[in-house]
A and B are shown apart, each in its own frame.
Chain A
Amino acid sequence: MTQLPTTTTRKLGLVIDLDTCVGCHACVISCKGWNTENYGAPLADEDAYGANPVGSFLNRVHSFEVTPADDAPPSLVHFPKSCLHCDNAPCVTVCPTGASYKRVEDGIVLVNESACIGCGLCAWACPYGARELDPREKVMKKCTLCVDRIYNENLPEEDRVPACVRTCPAGARHFGDLGDSESAVSQLVAQRGGFDLMPEMGTQPVNKYLPPRPKDQLQETDILAPFLAPVTDTSQGFLGWLDRALSALPGAKE
């Protein structure tokens, strides 16, 4: 059913720390790996070893440059982006077949691939580009929040988190219940001023992003500078003679 639930019992989602992310793309690869080998249609690549490789991914890392208005140096921010499991998910309500749905029990937005007609309308409706039509299976692919890991009792307990979170070497990705204000992720969002992407779209994303911390600025207090001031502006010795001789020639600049 593609009507959205009015509330969900839990709001499972990710908190992504833009201060900590080093842009290594390990989350992209672990996501592609897990979601190709496990639940749903594999994430296909086309022309993988040719001149124009394309493929479906559920998580991609952009990089942005932020140039401050003052003279401070620009900073580079690595920006992982995947489905934000919005409370008011526009991708769900546009689906004509009911293949797209949001779960009442944990708020995860999923696609029932056997009911998907591959019309692509949900990908158009998503402002974040979180959905990609698989080039081989022709069904819509999106982040499942590794629903086949987080409840999987065959996995050791530490592995029962999304593959991207498990693999992140920098600890920039956090998984938890954002509907519970006492949870570790909610506390993190409160402490660090976590924010929504495109809040003006009214999608009410569950996933939050933590802003990069302000960068340290080197103060221009060089105590040795006065002692290192140039002793003379004019050259000495042979170069000094050459300079004076050339300056004496007609046409030389004053």
Chain B
Amino acid sequence: MHPAPSIIVFTTLSGLGFGLMAFLGLGLPGSTGWVALAFYVIAYALACGGLVASAFHLGHPERALRAFSQWRSSWLSREAWLAVLTLLVVGIFAAGRVFWGQLWQPLGWLGAALALATVYSTSMIYASLAAIPRWHGPLTPLHFLSLSLAGGALLAGQVGAALPLLALAAGVQLVVWMQGDGALARSGTTMASATGLQGGAVRAFEPPHTGTNYLLREMVHIVGRKHAARLRVLTLILGFGLPMVLLVLPFNHWLGLLAVLTHVLGIFASRWLFFAQAEHVVGLYYGKR
């Protein structure tokens, strides 16, 4: 699939932002006043920044409000609702923490649950697509949620939670890659099932057009897979290894910031691969993956 920068930025940053909101909703860290304001500004900047970035890939962003209408069937519509609800509920909870030093814990729990539900709905947009075997399955929500929780713990300064969560997210990432590499072959969809042609080996002889088209650019984006092995190593080192090392060192705000930055860079690499390496079955009609 085409690794559109707007989608990579959106899913990475909003995942981090909602992960941070989940921890803030649980009352971690328990700061109030200016310090709490700083945490909530970061969380809202990441979540809203991601949502704004996602609008850039729309053909008609002026009609974006219509996306709230089909929550009965569409995960994209559910994501829109859950994101707005989370921002509202966490906003009220945040006001209590920042302005009055109050802890309205039930509201915080609700906000945390909504934040995680938002990340889940984002992941289900991809996991629900049977046409992309690498994404289709329960590993995709697990991958997104584990990353969001690890990043959220890191941003919330919860060193005790961040270390195991980063390790968990790294483990899930490895399983996602191992499972994903054989997903298309296991799906049972082949050029023979795509064309229904029997009685011999089927080979794509001639494409329908001499140039490229929307389908090839959007869904058979082979050029993005060029540095896959290197990007996987970078993901593991930057996204998980370095932040964990930095967390183990004696605490210092600058080291914490560095841990967050390397983590975000690593997740950008991971998210690039998530899209670039996903093979859409339409590629079979073109003899490509």
Contact = CB atoms under 8 A, between A and B. Distances in A.
Given A119-B58, A124-B280, A127-B281, A197 B196 contact: yes
B193 interface: yes
A191 interface: no
B20 interface: no
Interface in B51-80: 57-61, 63-64, 66-70, 72-77, 80
A30 to B, nearest CB: 15
B254 interface: no
Interface string A12-52: 00000010000001001000000000000000000000001
Interface stretch (A89-97, A166-174, A233-241, A244-252): A89-97
Interface in A45-63: 52-57, 60-63
B269 interface: no
Contacts of A116: 59-60, 63
B223 interface: no
Contacts of A230: none
Contacts of B215: 123, 129, 132
A40 to B, nearest CB: 14
Contacts of A216: none
A215 to B, nearest CB: 9
A138 B57 CA distance: 10
Contact of B67 (A93, A97, A202): A97
A123 B4 CA distance: 15
Contacts of A92: 73
A9 to B, nearest CB: 21
Interface string B176-209: 0000000000011101011111111111111111
A115 B189 contact: no
B252 interface: no
A195 B218 CA distance: 28
A127 B197 contact: no
Contact of A66 (B59, B77, B201): B201
Contacts, number: 195
Contacts of B74: 2, 93-96
Contacts of B282: 126-129
A65 B202 contact: yes
B197 to A, nearest CB: 5
Interface string A125-162: 11111001101011100000000000000000000000
B66 A97 contact: yes
Interface string A201-235: 11000000101101000000000000000000000
A67 interface: yes
> For the side of the interface on B, what is the size category?
35 or more
Contacts of B57: 119-120
Given A67-B200, A96-B69, A97-B67, A117 B132 contact: no
Given A65-B202, A68-B200, A132-B214, A201 B58 contact: no
Contacts of B60: 116-118, 138-139
A254 interface: no
B205 A64 contact: yes
A188 interface: no
A60 B196 CA distance: 17
Contacts of A97: 63, 66-67, 69-70, 77
Interface core residue of A4, A76, A77 (most chain B CB under 10 Å): A77
A21 to B, nearest CB: 12
A120 B75 contact: no
Nearest to A209: B196
A74 B197 CA distance: 12
Interface of B: 1, 57-61, 63-64, 66-70, 72-77, 80, 125, 128-132, 187-189, 191, 193-209, 211-215, 218-219, 280-282, 285-286
Closest 8 CB pairs of A and B: A118-B59, A138-B59, A129-B282, A60-B208, A97-B66, A127-B131, A68-B200, A96-B77
22 contacts: A57-B213, A63-B205, A64-B197, A68-B199, A74-B200, A77-B195, A81-B285, A93-B73, A96-B69, A116-B59, A117-B59, A117-B60, A117-B66, A119-B58, A119-B59, A120-B59, A120-B218, A124-B280, A129-B285, A195-B196, A212-B197, A214-B199
